[in-house]
Structure 1
Amino acid sequence: MNTTTPALEIVDATLELGDGDSRVRALDAVSLTVQPGEFVAIVGPSGSGKSSLLAVAGALSHPDSGSVRVHGTDLATLSKGAAARFRLAHIGFVFQSGNLLPALTAADQLRLASRLAGSRRVDPAAVLDSVGMAHRAKHRPGHLSGGERQRVGIARALVNDPSLLLVDEPTAALDRRRSHEVVQLLADRARDANVAVVMVTHDHDVLEHCDRVLEMVDGSLTGLAHAARRMDSAPPR
């Protein structure tokens, strides 16, 4: 993909959810542009529309109006099957609890994700090593700590070399030290692999690792809440 094109470009996206009197506007003319290699955090209260923003960015739902492009591809032009294939090939997802399959080892989690995307050449050990988990490749989720499960989840999201990484509350179940380790890992990946990262979080303690932090309130992005250069704040490695 062309790295001069924005990794994510949302223009005036509006999305309503529910029916009748319970219908709410989850996204209200939201616009967001994220460049390759940029790490953007979205903060805001529960119910403000953060998860809906990730859903439209990841082709999991379509806005009622407006447009969403990932590296120039208009997601609205994709059929359901094409959208699924596009997600597997170009978008990585990191979930709050890791969402690992309990019966699979760390390496097998990656092998499965790779096969679903149509690739069989992945080296799980190399990808796990990139997140500091090569030594735990043969362990199942039940034998991993919360921080280790989150690292495996990140490795699984990265296995197909996505250009966009969408991250939902990655530190919710982690202590302070492990929270910083996980978010620093995401920041390193954005910088080193030129991957755009959009992270939804309630954890203001980790915002120092991000390039931009935006606040979402009542379905609208209200502007810059905080900014930091992760390369300036990153601890020595």
Structure 2
Amino acid sequence: MNTDTTPALEIVDATLELGDGDTKVRALDHVSLTVQPGEFVAIVGPSGSGKSSLLAVAGALSNPDSGSVKVHGTDLSTLSRGAAAKFRLENIGFVFQSGNLLPSLTAADQLRLAGRLAGNRKVDPQPVLDSVGMAHRAKNRPGNLSGGERQRVGIARALVNDPTLLLVDEPTAALDRRRSHEVVQLLADRARDGNVAVVMVTHDHDVLEHCDRVLEMVDGRLEALAGWARAARTLDTASPQ
């Protein structure tokens, strides 16, 4: 468990433009966001509002045109492409819409591969699978798992290298209401129990009750989500413009 108090994610005045000429859009418009270890933050907003761009700069997949992005104190703009890839593997976990698992690998082997890619050849997948309630399915391939089970394995894979930051993209898109709540509650538990910062992009307002803060992307800007009282009370660590 990580007990360091350094912010897990610190984005300061980040801007990002995509496209060229008449198609150019400002995907991020002076966005600032700080997420502490153990905090679970949800980002909502319509398609095209900048949510995916926010995850991309937070995950060292792209650099903002201006501003800064730090993960656990490391300025991502100082990293070469190779160093950024290594940093992602060792410090950032990604959870995708459908689990994004390799169909030929068992649940346990999904985790072993993630560990080897990060230079850890002695990964024991069982404790991590057990932490998401999937130890009994360790030998099953994705085709034999339900949608909710695949998401749990995807979360376990994202956690296997003990990341500082977990970035989650629409984890409930293919799940029914009950399984959606189970998956998001699992993310909330892992944030608090493992002191991992979690940033989740979602369209599913029904699961926001599990989050510590909820922010909305509107035309590339971060704003408090109207009508969500807890978000409005605790917005002090974000600085929407």
1:111 and 1:2 mapped to 2: Cα distance? 25
CA contact (8 A) 2:9 2:72 kept: yes
- Name the counterpart of 1:27: 28
Gaps in structure 2 of 5+ consecutive residues: 232-241
1:25 and 1:146 mapped to 2: Cα distance? 35
Shift of 1:221: 0.3
- Secondary structure of 1:215's counterpart equals strand
Residue 106 in 1 paired to residue 120 in 2?
Answer: no
CA deviations over 1:174-215 (Å, ceiling 9, x no partner): 000000000000000000010000000000000000000001
Residue 148 in 1 paired to residue 158 in 2?
Answer: no
Gaps in structure 1 of 5+ consecutive residues: 230-237
Shift of 1:223: 2.3
Q: Give the alignment of 1:39-50 within 5 angstroms.
A: 39-50=40-51
- Secondary structure of 1:149's counterpart equals helix
CA contact (8 A) 1:58 1:166 kept: yes
Q: Could you tell me which amino acid in structure 2 is paired with residue 173 of structure 1?
A: A
Residue 115 in 1 paired to residue 116 in 2?
Answer: yes
- Name the counterpart of 2:215: 214
TM value normalised by structure 2: 0.93
1:164 and 1:51 mapped to 2: Cα distance? 16
- Name the counterpart of 2:87: 86
2:110 and 2:190 mapped to 1: Cα distance? 19
Shift of 1:4: 1.5
2:229 and 2:139 mapped to 1: Cα distance? 39
Residue 37 in 1 paired to residue 38 in 2?
Answer: yes
- Name the counterpart of 1:61: 62
1:206 and 1:227 mapped to 2: Cα distance? 15
TM value normalised by structure 1: 0.94
- Secondary structure of 2:214's counterpart equals strand
What is the alpha-carbon root mean square deviation over aligned residues?
A: 1.2
2:30 and 2:75 mapped to 1: Cα distance? 17
Q: Give the alignment of 1:151-166 within 5 angstroms.
A: 151-166=152-167
Q: Could you tell me which amino acid in structure 2 is paired with residue 81 of structure 1?
A: G
- Secondary structure of 1:132's counterpart equals coil
Identity over aligned pairs, percent: 87
CA contact (8 A) 2:3 2:195 kept: no
Q: Give the alignment of 1:118-137 within 5 angstroms.
A: 118-137=119-138
Q: Could you tell me which amino acid in structure 1 is paired with residue 87 of structure 2?
A: F
Q: Give the alignment of 1:136-215 within 5 angstroms.
A: 136-215=137-216
- Secondary structure of 2:122's counterpart equals coil
> In the comparison of the two structures, how many residue pairs are matched?
229
Shift of 1:104: 0.4
CA deviations over 1:148-191 (Å, ceiling 9, x no partner): 00000000000000010000000000000000000000000000
2:225 and 2:106 mapped to 1: Cα distance? 40
